[in-house]
Amino acid sequence: DADVTQTPRNRITKTGKRIMLECSQTKGHDRMYWYRQDPGLGLRLIYYSFDVKDINKGEISDGYSVSRQAQAKFSLSLESAIPNQTALYFCATSDTGYTEAFFGQGTRLTVV
Amino acid sequence: AQSVAQPEDQVNVAEGNPLTVKCTYSVSGNPYLFWYVQYPNRGLQFLLKYITGDNLVKGSYGFEAEFNKSQTSFHLKKPSALVSDSALYFCAVRDMDTGRRALTFGSGTRLQVQP
């Protein structure tokens, strides 16, 4: 089983719909992250959490919200999806600030 | 603020030749530096990191990277490229002196190794 699991892997949704992307991890890490990948732009940070009660906005948080339900679970929501939120979304975890991050397989989201 | 630049969108190299993928960074303090690789339809996989110590860091699959503080660079290298090295490579940085930061990634460099 994967250490970082994202569901769903692929999703097509309509403009204006609310959608939730889920992430769970078995690494036992405190730190969890949501990134978005767009061609030519690399990975951009949406939100990150250093523990259950510590949620922080990243560089592109507008239009997104998150919930840290437990140490192992970190969900990303699009309250009202729009086409320019079509992207590949990655969840990641890390143990500390100087250890590497572990990534999930990604969720390919298409907003039509 | 922290940032990473990968100046080449794509690098082409013949199999067996050495490869270099460039990365420069900007942080206000000291950097933690990372390289990741992404194969098609996969997540990012960790290759190597520089935290402190020896400027030449060795990682997975025969890759290495050299930290150069004066040039603020962390170029990824491999002495002999394989076709299977073809993938998307990302450099990432975290400011060591700001422990509450997440990783900042570059825009990625696509490596194409021709047989």
**What pLDDT sits at residue B62?**
96
**What pLDDT sits at residue B96?**
79
For the cut 80, the answer to whether the pLDDT of residue A11 exceeds it is: yes
Using an 8 Å Cβ cutoff, are A103 and A92 in contact? yes
Rounded to a whole number of angstroms, the distance from the CA of B36 to the nearest CA of chain A is: 9
Length of chain A (residues): 112
Question: Residue A87 forms beta bridges with which residues?
Answer: A109
Q: Which of B24-28, B30-34, B72-76 has the highest mean pLDDT?
A: B72-76
Whole-angstrom distance, CA of residue A7 vs CA of residue A107: 7
Q: How confident is the model at residue A1 (pLDDT cuts 50, 70, 90)?
A: low
Q: How many CB atoms lie within 10 A of CB A60?
A: 16
Using an 8 Å Cβ cutoff, are A52 and A43 in contact? no
**What pLDDT sits at residue B100?**
66
Q: Which tops the pLDDT comparison, B87 or B1?
A: B87
Q: Residue range A5-18: average pLDDT? A: 97
Q: What is the pLDDT of residues A18-53, one digit of tens each?
A: 999 999 999 999 999 999 999 888 999 999 999 999
Whole-angstrom distance, CA of residue A36 vs CA of residue A19: 15
Q: How confident is the model at residue B41 (pLDDT cuts 50, 70, 90)?
A: confident
- Rounded alpha-carbon distances, angstroms, from residue B101 to A44, A49, A72, A86, A97: 13, 10, 20, 26, 8
Interface of A with B in 77-96 (CB under 8 A): 90, 92
Q: Quick one: which of B54, B74, B100 has its CA closest to B5?
A: B74
Count Cβ atoms within 10 A of the Cβ of residue A63 and give its class: 0-12 exposed, 13-18 middle, 19 or more buried.
Answer: middle
For residue B42, list chain A residues with Cβ-Cβ distance below 8 A. Answer: 105-106
Instruction: Return the structure tokens found at B21.
Output: 């993928």
Kindly give, in sequence order, each residue whose CB lies less than 8 Å from that of residue A70, ignoring residues fewer than 6 positions away.
A52
**What pLDDT sits at residue B52?**
87
For the cut 80, the answer to whether the pLDDT of residue B33 exceeds it is: yes
Q: Quick one: which of A17, A34, A26 has its CA closest to A70?
A: A26
Rounded to a whole number of angstroms, the distance from the CA of B51 to the nearest CA of chain A is: 7
Instruction: Return the structure tokens found at B85.
Output: 């090295």
Q: What is the pLDDT of residues B97-107, one digit of tens each?
A: 776 678 899 99
Residues on chain B bordering chain A, Cβ-to-Cβ distance under 8 angstroms: 6, 9, 32, 34, 36, 42-46, 49, 51, 90, 94, 96, 99-108
DSSP track, A9-21: SEEEE-TT--EEE
User: Strands A19-25 and A10-13: what pairing?
Assistant: unpaired
Percentage of chain B beyond pLDDT 90 is 80
Mean pLDDT for all residues in chain B: 93
Q: Residue range B46-60: average pLDDT? A: 93
Instruction: Return the structure tokens found at A19.
Output: 């959608």
Q: What is the CA B38 to chain-centroid distance, rounded?
A: 12
User: Strands B3-5 and A102-103: what pairing?
Assistant: unpaired
Using an 8 Å Cβ cutoff, are A27 and B93 in contact? no
Q: What is the pLDDT of residues A52-110, one digit of tens each?
A: 999 999 999 999 999 999 999 999 999 999 999 999 999 999 987 678 899 999 999 99
Q: What is the pLDDT of residues B81-96, one digit of tens each?
A: 999 999 999 999 988 7
